[in-house]
Amino acid sequence: MLRSRIIPCLLVQNKGLVKTVRFGSPKYVGDPLNAVRIFNEKEVDEMIVLDIDATVKGVEPDYAMIGNIAAECRMPLCYGGGVKRLDQAVRIIGLGVEKVALSSLAVEDVGTVSSIAQYIGSQSVVVVLDVRRNAATKKYEVWTHNGTKNSRQDAVEFARRLVELGVGEITINSIDNDGVMKGYDMEIARQIRAVVTAPMTVLGGAGSLGDLAQLIKEFGVIGAAAGSLFVFKGVYKAVLINYPDRGRKASLCAGTLTRVSA
């Protein structure tokens, strides 16, 4: 039976775990491997690891780092960052990663994305759409390279096209909500859910279990991803890896959570 997934998202820069606010001001919060070990103990549903440097710097994925993280993970792992070719995606899957996340490649060469999906399987290909709402047109547009390049692609139409080309999952990442911890951008999630039947994950803005509960209550089976929520604790944002316990997670995914504090 399909159910919602509660997913920590770890951002990696210079081999360290960082957190950003609106894709800027990265703050070092620890060692990725230590975070993975703690999340293992907390029995998380799935994990996303994104190298935010690789594409911007135009370098190969850090296969040694990916392999080390995959070897530690006891949950399904999705990795993204720097993947531009089929052979890179195949190598990453060979390291024990279940899903490869693509972003700028989808904008630059959608044909290669389709080829990757055909070769490794649609279920193993995720496209992360970093989106921002255009104040003039009111439409959501896809940005790349850590939110510095506007592709001018309409996010909703692009998501629909990607699924038609074989992409197995769409992750919506709100640039404006990233790290703010005031809730998801529910509007873009609604718009993309209306045209896409493939699995969908929403990222950017979760500040409490209540935000996860709201997302799951409206969309049912969905990926509820968060970064800051699972690495910070309290109003002063002390670094503390956390995750809902088994009972809270079950009630959260069932839409019956009553206590919504972290």
CATH number of the domain within which 239 lies: 3.20.20.70
CA of 51: how far to CAs of 81, 97, 258, 262, in Å? 5, 14, 35, 26
Residue 124 in any domain: the answer is yes
Residue 81 in any domain: the answer is yes
Give pTM, 2 decimals. Answer: 0.95
Residue 260 in any domain: the answer is no
Residue 262 in any domain: the answer is no
- What's the pLDDT tens digit per position in 15-43? 999 999 999 999 999 999 999 999 999 99
Range of the domain at 100: 5-253
Closest CA to 20 of 227, 243, 229: 227
Contact 179, 228 (CB under 8 A): yes
- Proportion of the chain above pLDDT 70, given as a percent: 98
CA of 109: how far to CAs of 53, 62, 189, in Å? 20, 22, 24
pLDDT at 256: 73
- What's the pLDDT tens digit per position in 131-157? 999 999 999 999 999 999 999 999 999
Residue 58 in any domain: the answer is yes
Between helices 32-41 and 63-72, what is the axis angle to 10°?
A: 20
pLDDT at 88: 98
Between helices 110-120 and 155-164, what is the axis angle to 10°?
A: 40
| Residue 254 or residue 102, greater confidence | 102
pLDDT at 254: 77
- Structure tokens, 213: 């509960």
185 carries an active-site annotation: no
Number of domain units in the chain: 1
- Structure tokens, 192: 């993309």
Catalytic residue (one of 51, 53, 62, 130): 130
Residue 166 in any domain: the answer is yes
Average pLDDT of the residues in 89-108: 98
Residue 179 in any domain: the answer is yes
Kindly give the pairing relationship between strand 77-80 and strand 99-102: parallel
Residue whose pair of structure tokens reads 């990442």 in the numeric block: 173
